[in-house]
């Protein structure tokens, strides 16, 4: 187990380093630069700006300077938002996305898990069919349909929540539900699939033969193996859920982190792109690392694969 954990850890570091290098050069290959906005800059101003952000230096020097800063935990200043540090931008917006994301996860799990388990236990009954059809509706409806419809019903009609914005303590509810319902659908399907596979195995038959109650068989015996696909899915998904969705933020007009992922690329804000990408990649790789270790613990066969 230790050997497995250690080798996964080293692989994670390598991946993060590769993402850094790839991002650094990829964004510079695409045409355009941070100062090519709507307002044309005079050549003098542009030169000053380029010197200020070190863009006049040779590419390899920029690369190593950026790498050096990141190794010291310095995310550097934004090139587009004058006078703003990337760390500041992230500190302002990440908590919003994190709140919404974790609430969405809670919604997703509390709907998806029971639905999936019940569907698997009552396989091919009307419960199964209706739960899975509902789940598919959740998967098939784009966020930008579900979002406005929910806002219309609960915001404009019942007036329970604000339709948009981030002002009141209940403003997380609608975005979280919108996001959560979609993930709930995926989780329900994966739980059903995982549980079905386990419920067909010999040790479940043995448990039944011993005369255990159905509830005990499911909770004590089947769930541990049946949830492996869900864990494998949720690990990577977690990074995406907590760093915000641009579409959800646009629908509900939220100052979250998701917008920076998209805007920074449009703006060619090299340093903000790097900051957001590295945040995402580090989160993803970390979560993946723990997921792998967790799965290795849930299913010993994986460790020796």
**Contact residues for other proteins (CB under 8 A)?**
11, 14-16, 18-19, 22-23, 26-27, 30-32, 129, 136-137, 139-145, 147-149, 152, 156, 197, 229, 236, 240, 243, 246-247, 250, 261-262, 265-266, 273, 276-277, 280-281, 284-285, 288
Nearer to other proteins, 176 or 276 (CB): 276
Nearer to other proteins, 85 or 280 (CB): 280
Q: Rounded to the nearest whole angstrom, what is the least distance from the CB of residue 40 to other proteins in the complex?
A: 20
**Spatial distance between the Cα atoms of 103 and 84, rounded to a whole number of angstroms:** 29
Nearer to other proteins, 57 or 246 (CB): 246
Closest listed residue to residue 146, CA positions, set 276, 48, 245, 36 = 245
**Spatial distance between the Cα atoms of 194 and 192, rounded to a whole number of angstroms:** 6
Q: Rounded to the nearest whole angstrom, what is the least distance from the CB of residue 30 to other proteins in the complex?
A: 5
Nearer to other proteins, 99 or 143 (CB): 143
Give, in order, the Cα–Cα distances in Å from 240 to each of 105, 244, 279, 304: 11, 7, 11, 29
Q: Rounded to the nearest whole angstrom, what is the least distance from the CB of residue 165 to other proteins in the complex?
A: 18
Closest listed residue to residue 90, CA positions, set 105, 104, 75 = 75
Nearer to other proteins, 176 or 288 (CB): 288
**Spatial distance between the Cα atoms of 102 and 130, rounded to a whole number of angstroms:** 27
Q: Rounded to the nearest whole angstrom, what is the least distance from the CB of residue 46 to other proteins in the complex?
A: 21
Quote the tokens at residue 157. Answer: 């009609």
Q: Decide: residue 156, CB within 10 A, 0-12 exposed, 13-18 middle, 19+ buried.
A: exposed
Q: Rounded to the nearest whole angstrom, what is the least distance from the CB of residue 48 to other proteins in the complex?
A: 27
DSSP summary character for residue 41: P
CB atoms closer than 10 angstroms to residue 31: 7
List CB contacts of 17: < 8 A, sequence separation 6 or more.
none
Q: Residue 158, CB half-sphere, CA atoms under 13 Å: how many?
A: 8
Nearer to other proteins, 2 or 305 (CB): 305
Q: Rounded to the nearest whole angstrom, what is the least distance from the CB of residue 281 to other proteins in the complex?
A: 4
Nearer to other proteins, 106 or 140 (CB): 140
Q: Rounded to the nearest whole angstrom, what is the least distance from the CB of residue 136 to other proteins in the complex?
A: 5
């Amino acid at each position: 187990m230790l050997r497995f954990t250690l080798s996964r850890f080293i692989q994670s570091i390598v991946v993060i380093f590769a993402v850094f290098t790839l991002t650094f050069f990829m964004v510079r290959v695409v045409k355009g630069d941070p100062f090519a906005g709507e307002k044309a800059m005079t050549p003098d101003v542009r030169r000053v700006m380029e010197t200020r952000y070190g863009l006049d230096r040779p590419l390899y020097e920029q690369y190593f300077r950026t790498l050096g800063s990141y190794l010291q935990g310095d995310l550097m200043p934004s090139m587009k938002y004058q006078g703003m540090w990337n760390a500041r931008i992230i500190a302002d917006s990440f908590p919003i996305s994190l709140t919404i994301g974790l609430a969405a996860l809670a919604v997703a799990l509390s709907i998806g898990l029971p639905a999936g388990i019940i569907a698997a236990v009552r396989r091919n009954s009307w419960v199964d069919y209706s739960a899975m059809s509902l789940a598919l509706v959740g998967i098939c409806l784009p966020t930008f349909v579900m979002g406005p419809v929910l806002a219309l019903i609960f915001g404009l009609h019942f007036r329970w929540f604000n339709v948009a914005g981030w002002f009141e303590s209940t403003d997380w509810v609608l975005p979280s539900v919108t996001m959560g319902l979609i993930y709930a659908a995926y989780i329900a399907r994966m739980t059903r699939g995982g549980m079905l596979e386990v419920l067909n195995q010999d040790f479940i038959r043995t448990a039944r033969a011993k005369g255990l109650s159905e509830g005990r068989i499911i909770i004590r015996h089947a769930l541990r193996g049946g949830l492996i696909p869900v864990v494998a899915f949720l690990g990577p998904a977690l990074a995406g859920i907590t760093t915000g969705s641009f579409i959800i933020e646009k629908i509900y007009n939220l100052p979250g982190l998701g917008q920076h992922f998209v805007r920074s690329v449009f703006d060619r804000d090299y340093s903000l792109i790097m900051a957001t990408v590295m945040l995402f990649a580090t989160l993803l790789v970390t979560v993946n690392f723990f997921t792998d270790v967790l799965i290795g613990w849930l299913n010993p066969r994986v460790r020796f694969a």
